[in-house]
Structure 1
Amino acid sequence: MAPSLSLIFGLVTLPLKLLYLTLQFYTVGTVFTNATAKKSLVKTLHNGLCQHMGCALRVQDLQLAYVPVSKLLLSMSKSLGRLPGFNEKYTDKEDFICESRWLTKNIDSKESPIVLYFHGGCFAIQMLDNQAQGMANLYEAYKLRYGVDLSILVADYSLTPLGYTYPTQYNEAVSLYEKLVADGYTKIVIMGDSAGGNLVLNILNYLHKRSKHQDVVWPVASIAISPYLNLSKQEFSGSFKRFDKVDFFNYAMTSYLGNVYIGGDEFLHASPVVNIELNSDKVDWKNIAPIKEGNLLVQFGDHEVLTDEILRWCEQAELTKNHPENIAIDIDGVHIGFFITESVAYGDIESWLNQYCANSILTFLKRKLE
């Protein structure tokens, strides 16, 4: 299989994009005005790289580039191999569950804190090294600041370029959470960015529906970073239009990969699992226990294309009204800034943990894991 013409064009024009950004960085400034990005050419160029190449990717390119989480982590062994339990397998891929790997494993008892992480990527893009690095940083920073070793489990859920469309990813996420519960773990944090944030909210809704008929084990904390709420139906208006040239995530990318996720089935536009915010009237979000009790953190940038739908959902779920402290807005930040901006060329852990996104996650976890 050959790469798409779109990808080839993107690669050919990439040097010009990066040169243009470099000249802007040292003169008039770039569109990436976040305080963290403005201080670093490397961070700025990384934002530009993601912005430029994201639009160029097609399903065939993602098939060619696919690397499972196990191989990604293996390739990072030199820098991350010191982590306890690094790259150990927890589950194999089966009918309704995905493979999962420990990024860090520190389990002394069934009450040891476990962060179950779902990576983003429109359900089409594999976990990337900046996401693995960001989660490794979270482990090291939490240990440094609070003296606690977190276990971090990475879900390697099935991707659309490999032929897996909705509801595969949803089923796998729910099943993996249930597997942890069945194994007796009681102190589970669920965390995800972008499409992974969508899975986090859908797990909460799944547990809410089950709780009406039986006892459930709720996560002690939930973190949705730039949650990709409306997967298959967007309009080029509002924040999608305002930040189209500012954010690396954009309308063209979301509409293309969102349609791939639903397999072109327009009836799924009405699904509250696929399009969470658009169909929020079908879910009693405000009465879902972790949301009502303040155990959900929503973090996003105010310069990302998803800003408007995230803000609307926070209003609909009454998070804005009841727990505004759990809405962390990264000023001038782009989509998943925790990974794209803060976890690239981050320096040392002491400086990394004081950045806005990292600090808001660390302090939230501390409150909920005490």
Structure 2
Amino acid sequence: MALPSLSLLSKIATAPWVILKTTLEYYITGTVYTQTDPEFDSLAKNLNVATAIHLAQGIRGRDADLVMGSMYSYFARYKNMPAVSGLPHYGEKVVDEETLAWLVRPEGAKKAILYLHGGGYSFPFAPQQFAGMIGVWYAVDSEKRQDLAIAMLDYSVTSHGKYYPTQIFEAVKAYRQLVDQGYEVIPMGDSAGGNLALAVARFAAYPAEAEAQFSRYTDFNWEFSPLPAPNTLVLIAPWVHTDKGAAIYPGVNHDGDFIRLSVNSKGDLYITGSDRKAVAPFVDFNGTTYEDHWAKVPAFVDGAILYIYGERELLRGSQELFAKEKDKGTFTTKMQPGGIHDAMFVVDVLDVNSKKGMADVVAGKHRSKFNFGAVGEFLDSRL
């Protein structure tokens, strides 16, 4: 097994200071989290997030496999959770590949979420994301969710030496496989997964442009035959512009956000070997226009898009610009007050990711949370 990087070891060594500082703040002045987001209602949550953010700053590509496992391994880890017994076809492969599997597939379901995880295109599928997607299915009305399957893709990441357009190739392939099985596919992604979901939507809606863009990448077996573009998208804290998406937002306290300004460098890493200007229409969406790049995507025309972001996240400026320019009446845009980046899978999930939490999920108690409630309500309206 590889040893942790010196950067990560340094963060591990200084973690006790973060724990002490957060504990003192919690009891004396309040932490930046308790002062801004009611979800931080316990010392444990504050310590969990503060420590996770501290350690995340030290993680380098070589550390990715030390702190995260493969998506498929999580099916075994969670199989005894109370919520899992209610998930038909849990853990079955969509096709004969471990990288694309069913979290849940009710018999007769006509719609399927294709979940694309976040992580800056650098880090693999996280267990918090796995638990969070269980929460998503149970956030939907008990009758309506019988028409909703969820497939999850463990796409390749840059920490394993896989760069643009590998992730788009794998996501489009998974999308096509679900379409071929008769599903209306709902791409759902958080952070970088939101960027990837938008790329999939553009690929399907603009096949000629997709062929011109991707056919030069001859290491991949591309298929450019017609593909129905999505009517529905779910975008959680989307990373809509990978170049300069992270920036200080005037008047906002970004202390304790889950990402740093350095996330922009992960955007550079993602397109290693490609020219940014050439790939921008499938990567940096603040530079696109509705008329030229989205007018053929049904979700942007007469469908529906759930668009959630946090008040305190560093991506807020680029996220708001994208919604302002591209929303022609199909966006359900929700800003979480006091929210940090990807709070659904960083904060809200803390009350879900345990046996007791999963029992509460089955009872639907997590719908009271900002993000799970918003996702459940939105999906109810689309089923």
TM-score range, shorter chain: 0.7 to 0.9
- Give 1:199's aligned residue: 196
Retained in 2: the 8 A contact 1:142–1:148? no
Bigger mean CA offset, 221-230 vs 27-36: 27-36
CA distance in 1, matches of 2:46, 2:208: 45
Retained in 1: the 8 A contact 2:191–2:236? yes
- Residue 353 of structure 1 aligns to a residue whose secondary structure is helix
Alpha-carbon offset, residue 145 of structure 1: 7.4
Letter in 1 for 2:342: I
- Give 1:139's aligned residue: 137
- Give 2:381's aligned residue: 367
- Give 2:339's aligned residue: 333
Alpha-carbon offset, residue 309 of structure 1: 0.2
Retained in 2: the 8 A contact 1:280–1:313? no
Structure 1, unaligned runs of 5 or more: none
- Residue 309 of structure 2 aligns to a residue whose secondary structure is strand
Q: Structure 1 residues 150 and 364, CA, compared in 2 at 3 Å: closer, same or farther?
A: same
Alpha-carbon offset, residue 251 of structure 1: 1.0
- Residue 148 of structure 1 aligns to a residue whose secondary structure is helix
Q: 1:54 aligns with which of 47, 56, 73?
A: 56
Residues paired across the two proteins, number: 357
- Give 1:99's aligned residue: 99
Letter in 2 for 1:131: Q
Alpha-carbon offset, residue 65 of structure 1: 3.9
Q: How much is the aligned-residue C-alpha RMSD, in angstroms?
A: 2.7
Alpha-carbon offset, residue 84 of structure 1: 2.0
**For each residue in 1:110-154, what CA deviation from the matched residue of structure 2 results, as whole angstroms up to 9, or x when unmatched?**
x52211111111111111121111111122232547563632111
Write the mapping of 1:249-288 to structure 2, written as runs, cut at 5 A.
Answer: 249-252=259-262, 254-263=263-272, 265=274, 267=276, 271-280=280-289, 283-286=292-295, 288=297
CA distance in 2, matches of 1:63, 1:22: 30
CA distance in 2, matches of 1:193, 1:126: 13
Q: Structure 1 residues 235 and 363, CA, compared in 2 at 3 Å: closer, same or farther?
A: closer
- Give 1:343's aligned residue: 349
Alpha-carbon offset, residue 174 of structure 1: 0.9
Q: Structure 1 residues 28 and 9, CA, compared in 2 at 3 Å: closer, same or farther?
A: same
Write the mapping of 1:281-320 to structure 2, written as runs, cut at 5 A.
Answer: 283-286=292-295, 288-317=297-326, 319=327
Retained in 2: the 8 A contact 1:242–1:305? no
CA distance in 1, matches of 2:6, 2:251: 26
Letter in 1 for 2:185: I
Letter in 1 for 2:93: K
CA distance in 1, matches of 2:245, 2:198: 22
Tell me the TM-score normalized by structure 1.
0.87
- Give 1:20's aligned residue: 21
- Give 1:234's aligned residue: 244
- Residue 285 of structure 2 aligns to a residue whose secondary structure is coil
- Residue 271 of structure 1 aligns to a residue whose secondary structure is helix
CA distance in 2, matches of 1:145, 1:49: 39
**For each residue in 1:175-224, what CA deviation from the matched residue of structure 2 results, as whole angstroms up to 9, or x when unmatched?**
11111112222x32211101111111111211221399986423342101
**For each residue in 1:47-96, what CA deviation from the matched residue of structure 2 results, as whole angstroms up to 9, or x when unmatched?**
21232122111111114445211112222222154232221111345xxx
- Residue 152 of structure 1 aligns to a residue whose secondary structure is strand
CA distance in 2, matches of 1:27, 1:146: 46
CA distance in 2, matches of 1:337, 1:259: 24
Q: Structure 1 residues 289 and 138, CA, compared in 2 at 3 Å: closer, same or farther?
A: same
Alpha-carbon offset, residue 287 of structure 1: 5.3
- Residue 300 of structure 1 aligns to a residue whose secondary structure is strand
- Give 1:161's aligned residue: 159
CA distance in 1, matches of 2:167, 2:319: 21
CA distance in 1, matches of 2:39, 2:61: 30
Retained in 1: the 8 A contact 2:309–2:336? yes
Retained in 1: the 8 A contact 2:176–2:227? no
CA distance in 1, matches of 2:305, 2:254: 28
- Give 1:221's aligned residue: 232
- Residue 222 of structure 1 aligns to a residue whose secondary structure is strand
Letter in 2 for 1:203: V
Indicate the percent of aligned positions where both proteins have the same amino acid.
26
| 1:322 partnered with 2:353 | no
Q: Structure 1 residues 269 and 259, CA, compared in 2 at 3 Å: closer, same or farther?
A: farther
Q: Structure 1 residues 298 and 160, CA, compared in 2 at 3 Å: closer, same or farther?
A: same
Alpha-carbon offset, residue 351 of structure 1: 2.6
Letter in 1 for 2:240: L
Tell me the TM-score normalized by structure 2.
0.84
- Give 1:245's aligned residue: 255
| 1:39 partnered with 2:36 | no
Retained in 2: the 8 A contact 1:197–1:227? yes
Retained in 2: the 8 A contact 1:248–1:334? yes
- Give 1:67's aligned residue: 69
Structure 2, unaligned runs of 5 or more: 210-223
Q: Structure 1 residues 211 and 114, CA, compared in 2 at 3 Å: closer, same or farther?
A: farther
Q: 1:151 aligns with which of 145, 149, 152?
A: 149
- Residue 223 of structure 1 aligns to a residue whose secondary structure is strand
Retained in 2: the 8 A contact 1:243–1:305? no
Retained in 2: the 8 A contact 1:85–1:105? yes
Alpha-carbon offset, residue 43 of structure 1: 2.4
Letter in 2 for 1:103: L
- Give 2:80's aligned residue: 78
